Chains A and B, each alone.
Chain A
Amino acid sequence: MEEKEKRVAHPYIPNSVPEIKEELLKEIGIESTEDIFGQIPEHLRLRRPLNIPKAILSEYELKKHVTELLSKNKNCEEYKNYLGGGCWQHYVPAVCKTIMERDEFLSAYVGEAFADHGKFQAQFEYASCIGELVDMDMVNTPTYDWAMACATTVRMASRMTGRSKALVAKSISPERLSCIKDYACSATPDIELVNYDPKSGLLDLNDLKDKLSEDVCVLYMENPNFFGVIEKDGQEIADLLHSKGALLSVGVDPISLGVLKPPARYGADFACGDVQPLGIPMSYGGGLGGFIATPDEPKFVAEYPSLLFGITETIEEGEYGFGEVLYERTSYASRDKAKDFLGTMAQLHGIVAGVYMALMGPQGMKELGEGLLQRAVYAVRKLSSVKGIKAPYFNSYHFKEFTVNFDDTGKTVADINKALLDHKIFGGKDLSKDFPELGQSALFCITEVHSKKDIDELTEALASVLGK
């Protein structure tokens, strides 16, 4: 048996003061917690102390310990980072940080609108701003990430059409494709990839026509696609799908929508994406949250698995109230009979994205988008001045990201990226495993955190690494 030693009260456990603990036991009328835990059968009990580290009780030492671990990482403030691909290094405004840290939002949960009015309103405003970006009237509360969002649109489309085959553009993120395959497979066991044109990187319309049939429920594609290529045939693609009774779901980078046409305007039925670029730190890929938007029609609304926060009125004259739209859809209400499942997802990131969009406003989104377009062009021009580098690999318009091919340098992306570390640079994402047809290519991302000087230095570093 463990001996009872008198211990200091833990700062997080008010009743761990030994006298209080004793007093409560007395009040309950028992001698020890064994009188409660004793009901657990002995063979299910753990009768030894857990073999885990001893408590670091002082906050100072705890901070030191964790900070030392975190300092072993090389972060993207120390290194210049050119990785993107769904987790992007954009500037995080101070007001976003302030709101993200507020204890009220941080530590709230599933309270209702009378006591958590602000949470509901902030979520409603977030959805309203996303609605403006994508030009659609119905927007959900965030799901885990873009991958779950796009996979959910596939499931929704399958239910709406009663069909079990889905088409997915090959030019989407491989990680999102993997999620779709796992998450949608019980609804659309048949998932077929639609090729991209090897020269332009655009969705191959002929391949789409070949694969499109009356049993297809949806095409999921991205714009800009994973290679940063801006698709141009959106309307034609939508028309093709609709002619067969299928739907179109388009994944977007929301930060592109100050300058790029929203999918709804070229016939898309679903728009989805990630809130991460909208003021959320990357956090090693932790800063994600997926959005889904559709027309505000019952046939769409009925198929959302997410909570949908709606605006209404209270009994007080002129006061906005909030609540859940069509709650019966959700698994909280209908369990296994619900539309998919629901849980704790990414609401805090939605709220912060709402703050970001309110700060940026229409002009901010437009100016930022224009600057991203221009920086990418400049970067492409600079990089392609290095002998052996082909940038961009695809002959198309690009937004924020583009592919760089190193086949003529005789070096692999892996080797180049290793060498770039000596220049304190994280080079572009190596595509050679996921897209072997692109040879030794990497996906580079340029955002507003990159200056002309950074891009020039990247070019010099590459030239030096390649020995040119």
Chain B
Amino acid sequence: MTNVRLRKFHQAHWDEPIIFELSVPGRRGLIPPAPEEEIKEAAGDPKGLVPEEMLRKEPPALPELDQKRVLAHYIHLAQETLGGNLCNDISQGTCTMKYNPRINEELAAHPGIASLHPWQDVDTAQGILEIYYKFEEILKEISGMDKFSLHPQGGAHAVYTAASIMRAYHRDRGELDKRREIISSAFTHPCDHAAPATAGFRLIILPPSENGYPSVEAVKAAVSENTAGMFITNPEDTGIYNTEIDQFVKIVHDAGGLCFYDQANANVLLGIARAREAGFDMCHFNIHKTFGTPHGCSGPGLGALGVRDHLAKYLPIPTVEYDGTKYYLDFDRPHSVGKVRQFQGPAGVLVRTYAWVMTIGQEYLKEVSEISTINHNYLQKKLQEQIPEIEVPYAPGRRRLEEARYCWQKLLEATGVSTTDILRRVGDFGLQHYWTSHHPWVVPEPMTLEPCESYGKEDLDEYVAVLKHIRDEAYSDPEIVKNAPHKCASHKLADETALDDPKRWATTWRAYVKKKGRA
């Protein structure tokens, strides 16, 4: 490991008031264009243009600020946010925090996408439809699926759409009343349990065996004539690759169910292994993870949903087609589940990812996966060398692919410092705090790191050094860790129970003012 000098970091701390506190009556931030005099004259008093019952008597009590103050306020808030492009963000394991290239933002702001209306005549939208079509072709090749939909705006949305398609499939076969059960595993993302439940299914969530994933026997025991399908990911959140995945698929198929592969994070499987060969009927990619587009503080993303031929007729409408000379939208799909989002999906995200995949190309797509698994295996090795308390439960000796779920239990027992203390302290060194685990915490005191291909060796070494330093502090000065952060944009919450208390919670300023009795 190279010698790492820990950063003397301090995040911006503007102590910025809530924007309503900055309001001064009469100030204006923007003047909208007024209609010409002839229009005003012809139309008359606007009050007369609304039914009396529907007239708003006084304007909404929005804040009143000059333009510079609005800009400065939001730049301050931006500076109090640790975006992945700014920092060493291998922290958010399972989230694949890649570099989000600037050129893609420039392209997404081009009027040829930013100023397109989704209902324009397709003759005037041939460029964007070509991008839809070509990107779908690329995803088909990467996954082995036969057709894609780019309508869902996020991973969970694609998972929901897959559940809706499963529902339509079983309904068409007259079996929906009976087939209500979905099989999944404990280390699969929560949306693979919640989205099918929203679509009306019951979940059977199988616990991990010592391998980290359910046993073949457990899957056999779970299927029945009530099985609708399986929603599962691989590698699971633990980074462990399920080598029996095709047997799982076969068992579910033999029972009459369909299989959905959550490939939100497929970052180590590009050009390595595909959903098709494992027998899946559907899969999805989180474009805002694996394919390089921004997370945007949590959206908009794009959940690209791929299906095999026998399910293509159920995809949301419209699909993008090509007749040999022209691209067009096909609405005439009577078996479609209909719409899961308005229009044609998050097209701006599509333009960004098309640019990403075109610059990565055939030569580097597999390299993305190779470097990601190398980065992970290097990081895990160094962490375990440097920090003896860190454990990696399940499948001892098996290499993880892109990430690992680590465990700080030993350090907690030795020092009283917990994973939630450590993650806050990480922020003091200019790193985004790390991801623990979804609930329930099957692995105690969890930490999940994912050093995807966007990070260099120095970043990995820095991360190890920071964690090592905090581990040492846990012994020498545990309070500094427990009270962290000290150098971030704000501090530990005084009382988290306030957020569960109807008398104290407030998601709007007006509610806060009422509850606090402030004016």
Contact = CB atoms under 8 A, between A and B. Distances in A.
B119 A182 contact: no
Contacts of B378: 24, 27-28
Given A66-B358, A73-B112, A102-B75, A426 B120 contact: yes
A77 interface: yes
A284 B344 contact: yes
Interface string B86-102: 10000010010111110
A307 B299 CA distance: 13
A1 interface: no
Contact of A44 (B156, B246, B345, B375): B246
A346 B295 contact: no
Contacts of B202: 336
B417 interface: no
A74 to B, nearest CB: 4
A220 interface: no
B322 interface: no
B519 interface: no
A361 B64 contact: yes
A115 B489 contact: yes
Contacts of A355: 70, 74
A360 interface: yes
B78 A105 contact: yes
A181 B338 contact: yes
Contact of B50 (A259, A316, A365): A259
Contacts of B75: 99, 102
Interface string B473-492: 00000000001010011111
B373 A341 contact: no
A77 B111 contact: yes
Given A12-B454, A312-B498, A102 B78 contact: yes
A343 B191 CA distance: 7
A15 B338 contact: no
Contact of A285 (B199, B344, B355): B344
Given A15-B457, A63-B106, A104-B82, A288 B342 contact: yes
B205 interface: yes
Given A284-B118, A338-B194, A342-B156, A319 B56 contact: no
Nearest to A428: B119
A418 B294 CA distance: 37
Given A116-B82, A343-B157, A321 B494 contact: yes
Contacts of A375: 35, 39, 43
Interface in A115-133: 115-119, 121-125, 127-133
Interface in A153-186: 155, 173, 175-176, 178-179, 181-183, 185-186
A334 B74 CA distance: 34
B222 interface: no
A285 B457 CA distance: 40
Contacts of B108: 283
B47 to A, nearest CB: 9
A417 to B, nearest CB: 7
B111 to A, nearest CB: 4
A20 B342 CA distance: 46
A225 to B, nearest CB: 12
B382 to A, nearest CB: 8
Interface in A404-438: 417-418, 421, 426, 429
14 contacts: A44-B246, A50-B142, A111-B432, A115-B432, A115-B489, A175-B339, A186-B200, A285-B347, A331-B195, A343-B157, A345-B298, A359-B29, A378-B39, A452-B36
